[in-house]
Chains A and B, each alone.
Chain A
Amino acid sequence: MNKIMYLEFERCIGCRACLAACRECGGHDAKERNYVEYVDFMESRQTYPMLCMQCKDPACARVCPANAIQITEEGVVLSAMEEKCIGCRNCTFGCPFGIPKFDFEENKMYKCDMCYDRSKHDIAPMCASVCPSEAIRFIDFDEMQELRRKRTQMNLIEGKKPAEHDKWQYVPEFFGVYSD
C-alpha cells in the first residue's frame, strides 16, 4: 500500500466536518485532534485544515523526556503512551508545526494518529473521508504526483514563478507516505 494524505489549504471551506469526524474516531475519546483555523481573520475568512505531518524523525518524540511517543511500523507517530507520559508538554513546544494537544485534567498528550485503526487497513482517516471540498484527501502516491504536477503548471499559468532557490513554495504539501 502506498497512500498519502494530501492537503490543499485553499480548498478548505471552514465547515469543520473534519473536526466532528475526528471526535467520532475510535480511541479519540470525543476530542478532536486536528485543527481548522483562520489564516488571517482580519484579511479574509479563509480557513485551513491542519493535521500531523507524521514526520519520519519526529521532533516531538525527540524532546520527550519519558520516551513516550512511539512510531508504528507503518510510520504513524502515535500519541504519547499514557503510562509513560509525565505531562511536561515538551512535545507541544518541540513540534515545529504546533500539532500535539495536551489534556491537563487527564495529564496526557494526544495528537493526530491518522486514525490508525482505519488507515492501517487502507481506509481513509475520518477527516479525509468526510471533507466535502477535498481539502483533505487520502490518495495514492501516483495520484498525488499527478496533482502536484498540475498544481505547478497552474502556478505558472497564474504567473507565480518559482524562484531559483525555493521552488518548493509553489508545490502543494503532501505528507504521511504511509508505506513503501
Chain B
Amino acid sequence: MKQLERSFYSKTSMYSFFVIVLLFFSMWIGTSQFKHIDMALIGYMISSFIFAIGLTVRMCSWLIRPATHQVIKRSFKNLKTKERKKRNIKSIATTAFENIVLQKFIFKRGLYRGIQHFLIAWGCIGSFAITFGLTFGWMHFDLIDPDTYQIIVMGIPTIIMPAHGIFAEMVYNGLNITALMVLVGVIMAITRRIRSKDVKVTQRVEFDLFPLYLLLAVTGTGLLLTVLYTFLEGWMHPYMSLVHQVTVVVLLIYFPFGKLFHLPIRPLATAVPLNYQETVKVDTRACLKCNTPYSSDDQIEDVKGILGAQAFDLKLADGSYLSDYCPACRRRIRVMKQLNMEAPLGNPYDPVQTRNGIHISGFGKKRQDEFYNKATKSDSKQEERV
C-alpha cells in the first residue's frame, strides 16, 4: 500500500484515480463493453467525472482536519467492535431514517423550511440518481417487442413494462417529477431568503444564494425542454438542450466546493448516537466539580485529543482539563479567576472558602487587610515549595 501510494503525487490523487477507474469499470459493465453508450450525454459524462474528482478531493481535505479525523477514527473503531453491534446497527438505522430520509430536525425548525428542504433534497437526489444512471450507462431501456420495454441495470435485465403503461410513463417522466420537486422547493427557499430578515443577517450571496439560483436555472431549463418537445413540437429544442447542459455542468463542478457539499458529509451525523450519546439527552459523564452529568467519556476524550493535536493548552494547574468541567462550571471558573476569587484559601477547584468559615455576602464589602496578607503569604509559601 505504501509503495502504491508513493507512485502518486498524493493520497488524494490516488483516491481520485481509483474513483475514476471504478467509474469507468462500472460504465464498461453497464454499457456492455461500451456498446450502449449514449453519445448525446457525453458532456454530462465528462462533467460527472470532474464532479467525482472534486468530491474526492473535498472529502479528503475534510477528513484531514484533526476534528473530523478523530471522529471518523472512533466511528470505525466502534463499528469494528462486536460488543457494540446492536448499538451500531440501531444508530445507523435511526440516523439514516430520521435524519436523512425524513429530515425530522429540519421540520422542527419550521414546517415551511422542512417542506422546502425535503423537496429540494429528494428532488436533487432523485435527479442525480437518474442522471448518473443514464450518463454512465448504468441503466438503459431495451425494446423486447414493439409494445414492451425492459429496463436493463448494469447489463442485467430487470423490469418488463408495456411501452405506454402508467409505470412506463412515470419512469420516462422521472426527471420531470424530481425537477418539479426541486423547482417548488427552490422557489420556496428563494422566497424565504428574500422575505425573512433573520436569515439576511449572515447570508452570503456566493454561498447561500448562488446555489439556489443555479438550481433554479437547471430545473427551469430542464422543464422548459419538456415543454418545448411536448407542446411546441421541438421549437428551439437543440439550443435549449445546450443551455441546459451548460447549467448542469456548472452545477456539477460547483457542487463539491459550495453549500451543496453538506449532502455528502451529512452521514457523519451517525457518529453522534454511535460514539457519543446513545439516547438523546442522556449524559453519562459527571462534571469534575459539580457532579452534574454533562457528556460521555468518549466524547471528552475526543475533544481533548482534538484540542491537543492542535496545540490548545487547556490544562489547569491541578492536572485536570477545562473540558472535564460542565459548561456552567467552566463559566464560573473563568469568572472566579477574573475576580481573583479562585479561593486563595484551599483548593482553587473546590467551592469558595472564606477565612473564618463564615460566608459573608458579596464582593461589595471590603475585606480586612489580613485577608490579603494571608493570601500573599500562602502564595509565597507555594513559591518556596516550587
Contact = CB atoms under 8 A, between A and B. Distances in A.
A2 interface: no
Interface of B: 62, 65-68, 70-72, 99, 105, 108-109, 197-202, 259, 262, 265-266, 268-269, 271-272, 276-277, 280-281, 294-295, 299-300, 302-303, 306-307, 310, 312, 314, 322-323, 325-332, 334-341, 351-352, 354, 359-364, 366, 369, 372, 376, 379
Given A9-B338, A159-B372, A172-B338, A90 B306 contact: yes
A78 B199 CA distance: 13
A96 B332 contact: no
A169 B337 contact: yes
Interface in A81-99: 82-84, 86-90, 92-99
B281 A63 contact: no
A43 interface: yes
A116 interface: yes
A146 interface: no
B268 A86 contact: yes
Most buried by B among A96, A99, A158: A96
Nearest to A100: B327
Nearest to A29: B198
A173 B323 CA distance: 22
B67 A65 contact: yes
Nearest to A64: B67
A93 B105 contact: no
Contacts, number: 170
B278 to A, nearest CB: 13
Contacts of B339: 9-10, 39
Q: Which of B262, B295, B325, B328 has the most CB of A within 10 A?
A: B262
Contacts of B337: 169
Interface stretch (A15-23, A101-109, A123-131, A136-144): A101-109
Given A106-B109, A163-B379, A66 B265 contact: yes
Tell me the interface secondary structure of chain B in the complex: helix
A106 B328 CA distance: 22
Contacts of A9: 335, 338-339
A132 interface: no
A24 to B, nearest CB: 12
A117 interface: yes
B310 A65 contact: no
A160 interface: yes
A90 B302 contact: yes
A140 to B, nearest CB: 22
Contacts of A100: 327
Given A88-B271, A98-B328, A116-B202, A63 B338 contact: no
A65 B280 contact: no
A4 B369 CA distance: 35
Interface of A: 9-10, 26-27, 29, 35, 37, 39-40, 42-46, 48, 50, 59, 62-67, 78, 82-84, 86-90, 92-100, 104-108, 113, 116-117, 158-161, 163, 169-170, 172-173
A62 B67 contact: yes
Contacts of B369: 159
B205 to A, nearest CB: 14
Contact of A62 (B62, B295, B307): B307
Most chain-B Cβ atoms within 10 A of its Cβ — which of A78, A86, A87? A86
Nearest to B71: A65
Contact of B108 (A97, A99, A105, A170): A105
A43 B359 contact: yes
Nearest to B113: A82
Contact of A93 (B197, B280, B299): B299
Given A66-B268, A106-B105, A95 B360 contact: no
Given A65-B65, A169-B340, A97 B351 contact: no
